[in-house]
Structure formats: structure tokens, C-alpha cells
Amino acid sequence: MKNKAQIFNKLLKLTLDYKFAMLTATLMAFLAVGSGIGLMMTSSFIIASAALQTPIFKLQVAIVGVRFFGIARGIFRYLERYFSHNITFKLLAKFRIWFFQSLEPLIPSKKFDLTSGDLLSRATEDVESLEHFYVRVISPPLVFLGISLLMFILLGIFDIRYSFIFSILFVGSGIGIPILTLILSRKIGIELVNLKAIIEETTVDYFQGIKELLVYDLYENWKKEILSLQNQILALESKMNKIQSLNEILAGLFMNLTVAVLLFVAIPDVNTGKLNGIYLSVITIGIMASFEIISQMPLAFQYLSKSFESAKRLYDILELPYAEPKKAVSPNIINNNFYNLKVHNLNFSYDGIRNTLSNINFELKEREKLAIVGTSGAGKSTLANILAGLLPPDSGEILIGNTSYYDLAPEQIRQIISLVPQKVHLFAGTIRENLLFAKPDATEGEILEALQMSQLQSFIERLPKKLDTYIAELGNNLSGGEIKRIGIARALLRNTPIIIFDEVTSHLDPFTESAILDSILKISKEKSIIYITHRLTRMDIFNHIIVIQNGQIVEQGKHSELIKHGFYYSKLFYSFAKRLE
Amino acid sequence: MLISKELFFFVRSKKFVLLGLISASITISQAFILSRTISKVFLERNVLSDIQTLIYIFIIFSLIKPLINFLQNTLSHSFASKIKSNIRTSLLNQIPSALLLQERTGSAINTFLTGVDKLENYFAKFLPQLFLAILIPLFILILVFPIDFITGIVFTFTAPIIPFFMFLIGSIAEKLSQKQWKSLKLLSAYYFDVIQGLPTIKLFNRSKEVLRKIEEITNIFRIKTLSVLKIAFISAMVMELTATISIAIVAVAIGLRLLSGNFNFAEALFILIIAPEFYLPMRQLGISYHSALDGISACDSIKELLASSNRNNINNNNEKIENLTSREIGLFIKNQSPNNFNSSEISFKDSKNWIKSYLETAPIFFENVTFAYNERNIKALDSISFKIEPKKITAIVGETGAGKSTLMNLLLKFFEPTEGTIKAGEFNLEDINEIEWRQNIAWIPQNPHLFNKTILENIKIAKPEASFEEVVESARRARIHNFIASLPNGYYSFPGEGSSKISGGEAQRIAIARAYLKDAPLLLVDEPTANIDPITEEEIILDFFNLFRDRTVLIIAHRMDTIRKADRIVLLQNGRIAGIGSHDELLKTSDYYKKIFKEQDEKQSPNIQ
């Protein structure tokens, strides 16, 4: 998106809440550097004055000044660190909350699989990298500016020419050198990023296919390929390092040059008496001390462009189009007590070209059990997401009772419909916390009932800490089936009139699968059920089965009828039955 | 350990020491010139032309110094690069077993790429800085003592305070703040978890609460961390104060002696200019401390990954094994047909072909094979003995965790048996070079990996020298040719590209095409279970059996059709053999086998009302 100025403005706006804190921290940083300059200048003043046998009482103020600056520097540095860390943490929290808030309406997205690990870990890393925005990007230039002004004024007391000579060289090294190295390294930087992406892609590809590489005797070739990529990167990095080392090296050169040039200008002034000789050393040493801040400037520029990139990637995600969530029109639907679900001519497409779902029609009466059957990629999970109000349909109508989905806020839809998704996400924390996530005020009795229904009670009984076991503690001991069952229990706790189970029995052994189907039978006495599956076990328990292929309903009816027809469903069924599980 | 033996590189490298000394000398000379110049102008009333030369020398030094620093920098950077390259090479040479077991592939990749990169700052910044932090202050101290004893004493006594506090940070305050950094990491893990779970959060209408919780947790964290850092910063402040206060002391002390007339202004100014330079390297060391910690923790994960390899020095042994094998095969051939062959003339290629024809008649034996992935773990295979007959189909049947995949891993020589031997005819598999051995195996895993290359290349990995026609022919036989031809770029399509996204079934067929192309005598197959719809699955199994004709096959079977068609079935249970025989035999002898099949039979007669 957009140009850099816009991104910078947006970032700055996010930080503005903390402008006073930032100002304080910057002031402390300025005072710390300033004290360093003060220490060196007063010190040389004492020495130079003493060399002229100035009476000691005339030096008392300077001696106090030296002590003051010596101590002040440490204290200001301390305060600066404290304040700037405080801001850093605050900013990180701010950026995190901002990203969460902005991302929330986009998920699940039509365009991208935003829940894919890569994209998200990239995004969270980007959010984290913005935490340095104040310390690295905002603060150093401000301090630099302050010190430039301070030195301009201090030197101006003696002669305005000194101020200008100093300023030109000081700004040159503080801004000119970093920009120079940034320009010099830009091409290499881009090349490096590209190469690093390639080596990462290749390594992932090859590490995942390592067995194939070994079996087909390609491992040695592959090793050479990766190592040669690595060597290209190392060569570029070494170039990059050389360019970046210019920052430090040239800053030192500029400092010495500034001193030399000023000596050339100031020495004749001393000779003519325009400048008191005492101040020759004071000025020289002051200039040397002021260059301390220069060392932070290159980093500021580097972090600035890094922050741009991170922010750009984040905005690219956040500016994906999404349907504005609707305000509720029928606030009282929950009390309707009439939860027939009716889907009429539903169409949905992810890319606007190919329909993932076309012309879907079905009806789910209260307390009925509907199975949606089809191979993977047929569009079943998309349908589940639409029914749960996570994705808006492109066209067609969905009615709960007599209320259209278009008149309901997604939150309202989900007060009526629960979904156990194909990928159950358990949060870090205890099993209990994960269950309570669905219903924070659930009683112990309700939890027990949900556990029983989802066939989890014996598993929980075997755990030493029972429900208070941390998910992470279980690690590999938590099987895919158990994760699914926690997901089921969680959905049951919400006690909605309609529940959608999306592939809950894949990865379960036949015994558990059967037990879960028993539970679903039991649940269905009070609730309507939509059961999505590609595993055709005990299909006779469902009132109605719809068969989806390539986004369309190709067959529907009861199990016995469909078997008798001998079409797609019966083919699916018989070949499935031959599997040894 | 912060100081590792790599430090000695910098001490041993004469170039590096020399550059350090030159750089320090220049800094000192410049301070000397500067103080002399100012003194001459200030006290001796010299005019510009008198001291011009001094300033020019100062400028020349200013120009030389960057060159020296540049060389120093390049030297330490190339040292770090060499270390990084070496570590990556040895990681690749040892093939961490984590990768072969497809466990934690993500973290292995992370360590291989990012982890190794993190060593950069440690080797290129911290270690050289550590060296300079010792060298430069010592150098300055030696020069200062003859000029002014008191300053020398102040320097000597204040200098150790800085490293002392640095290590104090390292031991006490740092431990505290490290704990905080750890919880910072936990916090970002929490955030990542929450973002990943966003769909779930929405499903439960809990977005607002979660947002509040993020806010709350980060706030608590911030307050706690700051209270810890408050203490950690004190030691940093002491470091800073030590430098500034001792400069203040030195300045005042010298000033007072100048007053009493027993000190030279030029020398006083010299000391004042050099004083910050004395403390600078040590303070800079403190700055690079954190990146050093990062490098050390990266070191740990690299070591862990290296330790996970059970194939140590496999490359060094290659040559030895190759020779041994060729010789043995030569001997064997001699014994078989003594008049026709001369063992010394057998080339590598001949021996390969020989194994191939040998395998067409020789069975493979498992003799009391036991395997455990590592010492603590339970045995994945426990004293297994059975025979794989040539040109017959042997099926392995068993539940998850019975040891089926381990058996394959051993036959593929990804791992060596912990106890017992696997024999190909009369040869111990351990003695056969792994590359030669695998040239005789075609392998179809459950989830074949398709590389991010064209489909043509993906099939050709089985036989890199194959012609295009050969590839097409094997694709035809695997019944994937029509699909490939229908892709916009045909054989030059990439497997991941948009509409040409390859399904599980198609990937299986590409693996079959690979097997046809390789045309190996021994075929190892893991029947697919998931990701394929049942109808496609049935078709693929039919294709399998076409491929199986005239080959020795070991198949991990999940379907009844397959099991019934197998010549021999090996039934595994918890790493042991629970029965061997044909389907009918096992039905008679094994209750466990009967139980598995009973469940199947029930399934097959659906409850039609």
C-alpha cells in the first residue's frame, strides 16, 4: 500500500498516545549526552585555566560543574533507560492490540488463509519489530537535533563561524553518512532478502523431502545447492558488512576532520586575541564529546526502513477487503424458540471466478440430524464457516426460523449455532481454561456433562492434575482425537440449539468414533445437528444426508435410499468400507 | 560460557593483534598531537604556520585509522562467516535424525538458518570487542603511568569495576532480567497463540474479552519487568558513573597540580583526551553483551541438533564401506563363477548391476532385529525375525505405533538396527554402502514429498538421466499422464501453482511414476490412509498391483484387498511379531488378526434398514 510518508504518519499516530512519556525519555537522553559534553568541556576549562595559574576560588564553580556533570550523566542515562523501556513495552502492547483489533474482522478471509502458520508468524514478528520504533527510530534523531542546537549555541558564544563549520560537518556525519551507506547497501539489501527467502524456501522444501533425497541419492547434490546458496549469502553479507562498517569508520573520520578544520579557523583567532586561549581546548574537547550521539544515527535509519517494511506488510494484510459486520436488526431472535435452518440457493466463491459452493439448498428441522458428505475439497468446511457466520455468502438466503442471516450480526448467529471446526485450536493454558473459554460462568456440573458427552471423562480421570493439566504439559501425549474431543466439549458447553461438527471423527480410532457418534445421537435429542464427514460410518443414524461434490449437491436422502440408488454415495460407501483402520 | 576457545583465534591471529595495536597507537598519537598543538598555541603563542605540520599529521592519522578499522572489521567478519559455514556444513553432513523422523522439522530449519546466523554477532562483534577491551586499556595504562602516577592509579582501580559490574549483571541482575526476557517470549507466544486462535475466539464471541486480556497481561508484564529492570539498570549506571566520575577526579586532580605549577599543560590535556578512550572499549563491550547471550543460546540449540544425529561421520565412512562392498561382491562373484570374473576389474557400475540381479533371486532376512530411536525410549522393534521373499508381496499389518514405519526406516538404511542384523541374501546390510543399496529400492511413502520444481523434474529425481519420453511413459503407466497433460504448463507445471494444486491422490501417482522410472527390484510401499477419497484410493491400489508385478514388495497395508492379495503377511503388535503367514493361515492361528478382520467384516455389511 501507499507511500512511505503515509505509513510513517500512521505509525506515528499510533505512538502519539505516549507523546509526553516519549518527550521525557528523549529529554533524559539529551541531558545524558549533554552532561557528557559538559563534563569534558568544564574539565578542559579547569585544566586550561589552572595552567594559567588562575586563583583556585575562580575555579570553584567549574570544579562543582565537573562533579555535577560526572554524576548527572549516569543518572540521566539511568532515567533515560527506564523511561524508554517503559515506552517500548507500552508501544508493543499498543501495536499488538491494534493488530488484533484490525485483524479480527478479517478472519477467516476470503483471499488468504490467514490462519496459516507462516503468514501469522511473519505478522506477529512484524508487530514485534515495531516495538523499537521509539527507541531506535524516533529518539536518536531528536537527541541528535537537540545536541546539534546545543553545540550551535555553545560555539556561537565564541564565534558564529565555528557554529556553522561544526553544524555542516556534524549534520553531514549524522545524516549524510547513514544515507550514503543506505544507498550503497540498498541493492545488496534487496538481493540479500531475496536470497534469504530462496534459501529458506529451498531448505524447507528439501528438509521436508529429505527421505526422498536420500532414497534417490540426491542428498549430496542438494547439500551442494544449499551450501552454494549459503556462500552467495555470506559473500553478500560480507559486502554489506563492509558498507555498514563505513558508518562507524567515517563518523570517526568526520570527528577528527571537524576538530582539524576548527583548529585551522580558531588558531589564528587565538593569535589575534579574538579567542581566549583557554577556550581552544574547551571547544576541541567539546566537539569530540558531542560526536557520541552520531553512533546511534545509522541504526535509526536502518530501523526506519525496517519499520516501514514491517508496517507495510501489516497494512497489506489489514487492508484486505472484508464485509462490514452488520448491526443486529432482530435483537430478539434468541427468544424465538424456533430454530429451523433453511438454506436457499446459496453461492460462494473465494476468488470471484470459480464457485466453491453453488446453488446449495437444504433444510434442517429442529432436533434433526443432517450429514454432509463428500471428499476433501468438496466445499464442506466452507459451508460450515458460512453457516457459523464466519464468512458471508455471495448470494442466496439462509434463514434461522424466519430471520434472515442478512439481518443478524455474526455474534448473534453464533449464539444459535456452534461449530466444532476441523482444526480445533486449543489455547495455551489448562484444559479447564480451554473449556471455560466457551462459557466463562459454566458450573462444575455443566463441565462434567460436556466431558461425558464428548467421551473425555476417562482421559481426564487418568491425568494427575485432572482438568487443571496444562495443554503444553501433555505435549505429544495429547492425541489428535483428544484435541477434537476437547473441541467438542467446548462447543457443547455453549449450549446452542444448533451444533455443526466438521470432520470431528477423522484421526480417531473406530471405537472412539463410534462412541462419539453415540454422544451425538444423545445430544440430538435436544439439539439440531449438522455432521460433516468423509468417513461413512454408521450413516444410518442421520435423518438426512446430502452429498457434495465440487461445491454442488449431487445426491441427497436417507442412507438406505442412497445405497439403493447405487450412485456416487454408494460407491464412496463401499470403497470406504474396505479400509482397515 | 561467555569466553570460548574461539577467542584465542583473535589472540593467535597476529594480524588482528597487530591491527589492534596500530589502531590504539594512532588514537594515542592523535591525542598527543592534539594536546601538543593546543598547548603550543595556548601557552607558547605559536601561530598557525608554526604548528601546521602537526595538524597535517593529525589529519593523515585520521585518514589511516579508518583503513585499519576497516581491516579489523573485515577480518572478524570473515572469521564469523567461516564459523557459520563450517557449522552449516557439519549439520548437513550429519543429517539430524529429527529430520528423518519428520519431527520438529520447523525448529530444525530455524536452527539451521536463523540460529546459525545469530552466531554472527557473537563471533564478529562480541569476541573481538572483548579482546580490544583488554588490549586498549592496557596499552593506555602503560603510557599513562610514566606521565602521571596518580591518574594511572585512578585508571587501574576504576577499570576493573566495569568488567566486575558487567559480570555482576551476568550473574545476579541479568538472571532476573533474563527471567523477564523469558516471560517476554512467553508473552509473544501467548500473542501468537491468540492470533492463531482468532477463528475460535470469534466462534465463541470472545474477541472483546481476549483483547482486554492482552491489554491486562501486557500491562502486568510491563510493570513487573520495569521493576526488575530498575535494578538491572543500576549496575549499568554504576558502569557509566565509574567512567565519568573517574574522569572528573582525574581532571580536578590534574587541575590542582597544574595550579601548584608541578604539571605540564600539554600532558594534562593529553590525559584528559585519552581518558574517555580508556573506558570506551569496556563500555562498548557492555553494549554487545546481549547479542552475545543470543549467540550462546543459539549455540545450545545447534549442539542439541547435532547431538540428535545418530549417523555420526557418515561421510567419512563412505569410502571405507564402498571399498569393502566392492571387494566383497567381487569375492562373491569369484566364488559363484570363478572362471569368468576377475574381482579387481569390477567397476562400481558393474557391482551395482550385480546387486540388482542378485536381489531378484535373494530373499531379505530380518534376524533378531531390535531398534530403539534413542537409549531412553522403549524399543520400536523388539527382536524381529522374518523373511522377505524375492518377487513376492509381503504385507506388514499392525496398529499405529506397532513399528511398521521403523521397519521401513531400517530397510532404507536411514537407521541401523540397535541389535540383530538385516541381510540381503548372504550380505549383511550394514556392510553394503547405503547409496549403492538405495539404488535398488523404489519407495512410495504415505505422503510423497513433491519438490518445488516442475513435475518433470519431480518424476525425474528417480532417474536423472531419463529422457522426456521415458518420463511420459512412466507417467502413463502410473495413470497420471492425462492429468499432467491437462495442466496449463504440462510437465513444466509446478506442483503448488494455483489451479495445478496437486491432491494427495495425484501425489501418490507421481510417486508411482517415480517407481516405474527407477525400475528397482525392491519396492517399499506405505499404503495411503488419509487425504485421499475412497474411490481414488481404490484406483490407486489397482495401479500399485500393476507396479508390483515381478518385483520384491514390502507393503505396509491398510486395506483388506491388499492384505488378501499379499503372499505373506507379517502381523506386528507393539514392536513384536504377532504372527506370520498367509491370510487364511493367520485367520486360523491368530486371535489378534481375527479380531482386526472381524471389525472389518462388521463394517462391510452395513446396517441397511
Predicted complex: ipTM over 0.95:
no
| Percent with pLDDT over 90 in chain A | 19
B13-38 mean pLDDT: 89
Mean pLDDT over each residue of chain A, to the nearest integer: 83
- A157-166, B144-153, B479-488: segment of lowest average pLDDT: B479-488
What pLDDT digit, counting tens, does each position of A250-262 carry? 888 999 999 999 9
pLDDT of residue A1 exceeding 60, the answer is no
Mutate to test the interface with B, among A216, A291, A373 (most CBs of B within 10 A): A216
CA torsion, ordered A98, A99, A102, A105, to nearest 10 deg: -130
- Residue A408, SS3 per DSSP: coil
Mark yes or no for CB contact B438/A217 under 8 Å: yes
**Is B38–A280 a contact, with Cβ atoms under 8 angstroms apart?**
yes
**Mean pLDDT, range A559-571, rounded to an integer:** 79
In this prediction, residue B536 carries a pLDDT of 74
User: What average pLDDT score do residues B82-88 get?
Assistant: 86
Residue range B323-348: average pLDDT? 40
Domains in chain B: ranges and CATH? 314-440+520-604 (3.40.50.300), 446-519 (3.40.50.300)
Give me the mean pLDDT over the B314-342 stretch: 40
pLDDT at residue B313 above 80? Answer: no
pLDDT tens per residue, range A315-353: 877 776 655 555 555 555 555 567 888 888 888 887 677
List chain A residues with CB under 8 Å of B165.
Answer: none
Q: Is B348 in CB contact (< 8 Å) with chain A?
A: no
A60 part of contact set with chain B, CB < 8 Å? no
**Nearest-angstrom CA–CA distance, A494 and B214:** 23
Q: Does residue B338 register a pLDDT over 90?
A: no
Look at residues B285, B300, B299 and name the one whose alpha carbon lies nearest to residue B127. B285
Q: Can you read off the three cell numbers belonging to residue B28?
A: 594515542
**Is residue B63's pLDDT more than 90?**
yes
Task: Give the residue on B whose Cα is nearest the Cα of A212.
Answer: B449
CB-based contact (8 Å) between B109 and chain A?
A: yes
CA distance B251 to B246: 8
In angstroms, the separation between the Cα of residue B558 and the nearest Cα of chain A is 5
Query: Minimal Cα distance from A571: which residue of B?
Result: B535
Contacts 24+ apart (CB under 8 A), B301-308: B301/B107, B301/B111, B301/B115, B302/B87, B302/B91, B302/B111, B302/B115, B302/B116, B305/B91, B305/B96, B305/B98, B305/B108, B305/B111, B305/B112, B306/B90, B306/B91, B306/B94, B306/B96, B308/B96, B308/B97, B308/B98
Give me the residues of A, 397-436, that contact B with CB < 8 A: 410-411, 414-415, 418-419, 421, 424-425, 427-428
For B547-598, the pLDDT digits (tens) are 788 888 898 887 777 888 888 889 888 888 888 888 888 888 888 877 776 6
Q: Per the CB < 8 Å rule, is A82 touching B230?
A: yes
- Listing DSSP states for B18-55 in one string gives HHHHHHHHHHHHHHHHHHHHHHHHHTS---HHHHHHHH
Task: Enter the DSSP assignment of A274.
Answer: S
Question: Does any CB of chain A come closer than 8 Å to the CB of residue B86?
Answer: no
CB-based contact, A207 to chain B, within 8 Å = yes
Structure confidence at residue A453 (pLDDT): 83
Q: What pLDDT band is residue B207 in, cutting at 50, 70 and 90? A: confident
Q: Suggest the residue from B23, B65, B185, B200 to mutate for an interface test with chain A (most A CBs closer than 10 A).
A: B200
Closest CA to A360 of A372, A368, A369: A372
Instruction: Say whether A388 and B203 touch across the interface (CB within 8 A).
Output: yes
Question: Residues 523 to 542 of A: which have CB under 8 A from any B CB?
Answer: 534, 536-540
Question: What is the rounded distance in angstroms from the CA atom of residue A523 to the CA atom of residue A494?
Answer: 13
Query: In sequence order, what are the beta bridge partners of A399?
Result: A342, A404
pLDDT at B329 over 50: no
Contact (Cβ atoms closer than 8 angstroms) between residue B522 and residue A542: no
Question: So what's the pLDDT on residue B598?
Answer: 63
DSSP B363-426: -EEEEEEEE-SSTTSPPSEEEEEEEE-TTSEEEEE--TTSSHHHHHHHHTTSS--SEEEEEETT
Give me the pLDDT at residue B31, please: 92
Highest mean pLDDT among A405-409, B274-278, B322-326: B274-278
**B26-32 mean pLDDT:** 92
Interface contact flag, A211 B414, Cβ < 8 Å: yes
pLDDT (average), residues A163-171: 94
Q: How far is A9 from chain B (nearest CA, A)?
A: 24
Do residues A435 and A450 lie in contact, with contact meaning Cβ atoms separated by under 8 Å?
Answer: yes
Round to whole Å and give the CA distance between B124 and B294. 13
Cis peptide upstream of residue A108 (ω within 30 degrees of 0): yes
A85 chain-B contacts, CB cut-off 8 A: 225-226, 229
pLDDT of residue B444 exceeding 90? no
| A4-318 and A339-577, same CATH topology | no
Give the fold, CATH level 3, of A4-318: ABC transporter transmembrane region fold (1.20.1560)
CB contact, 8 Å: A566 with chain B? Answer: no
The closest CB to that of A264, out of B48, B191, B244, belongs to B48
Contact B191 A124 (CB under 8 A): yes
Which amino acid does the sequence have at B35? S
Assign B32 a pLDDT band (cuts: 50, 70, 90): very high
When CB atoms are compared, the residue of A56, A108, A437 closest to B199 is: A108
Cα radius of gyration (chain A): 35
Report the pLDDT value the prediction gives residue A166, as an integer from 0 to 100.
Answer: 94
Percent of chain B with pLDDT over 90: 7
Chain A to chain B Cβ contacts (< 8 Å): 395
On chain B, the residues whose CB falls within 8 A of the CB of A289 are 276
Q: Are A484 and A460 in contact (CB under 8 A)?
A: no
Which positions in chain A touch B445 (Cβ < 8 Å)? 211-212
- In chain B, whose CA is at the least distance from the CA of A119? B196
* pLDDT at position B333: 41
pLDDT band at A154 (very low <50, low <70, confident <90, very high): very high
In this complex, do B196 and A115 lie within 8 Å of one another by their Cβ atoms?
A: yes
CB B490 within 8 A of CB B451: no
User: Which of B64, B231, B244 best probes binding to A when mutated, by most A CB atoms within 10 angstroms?
Assistant: B244
The x, y and z cell numbers of residue B364, run together, are 531379505
Q: Which CATH class name applies to A339-577?
A: alpha beta
Report chain B residues whose CB lies below 8 A from the CB of A566: none
Q: What is the pLDDT of residue B211?
A: 87
> Does residue B176 surpass a pLDDT of 70?
no
Q: How far apart are CA B64 and CA A249, in angstroms?
A: 11
Nearest-angstrom CA–CA distance, B270 and A337 = 92
Question: A87 contacts in B (CB within 8 Å)?
Answer: none
Q: Which of residues 350 through 369 in chain A touch B, CB cutoff 8 A?
A: none
Q: Could you report the per-residue pLDDT of A56-106, keeping only the tens digit for each?
A: 888 888 889 998 998 999 899 899 988 988 888 888 888 888 888 888 877
Contact A216/B461, CB-based, under 8 Å?
A: yes
Whether A199 and chain B come into contact, CB under 8 Å, resolves to yes
User: What is the separation of C-alpha A256 from the centre of its chain, rounded to a whole number of angstroms?
Assistant: 44
* B256 contacts in chain A (CB < 8 Å): 50, 56
For A484-488, B95-99, B151-155, B599-603, which range has the lowest pLDDT when averaged over its residues?
A: B599-603
Which pLDDT belongs to residue A26?
94
A chain contacts of residue B608, beta-carbon cutoff 8 Å: 540, 559-560, 563
Percent of chain B surpassing pLDDT 70: 80
Please tell me which residue of chain B has the smallest CA distance to A217: B435
C-alpha distance from A223 to closest chain B C-alpha (Å): 7
> What tens digit of pLDDT does each residue of A527-538 get?
888 998 888 878
In chain A, domain spans = 4-318, 339-577
Dmax over CA atoms of chain B, in Å, equals 119
Does B167 score more than 80 pLDDT?
Answer: no
The pLDDT of residue A118 is above 70: no
DSSP 8-state code for residue B102: T
Cα B261 from Cα B434, distance rounded (Å)? 86
What is the spatial distance between Cα B460 and Cα B463, in angstroms, rounded to a whole number? 5
pLDDT tens by residue, B455-470 = 899 898 888 888 999 9
Q: Which range scores top for mean pLDDT: A22-36, A491-505, B232-246? A: A22-36
Q: Which of B89, B99, B196 sits opposite A207 (nearest CB)?
A: B99
Contact call for residues A238 and B75 (beta carbons, < 8 A): no
CB interface of B with A, residues 8-47, below 8 Å:
30, 34, 37-38, 41-43, 45, 47
For residue A81, the chain B residue with the least C-alpha distance is B233
pLDDT of B600:
53
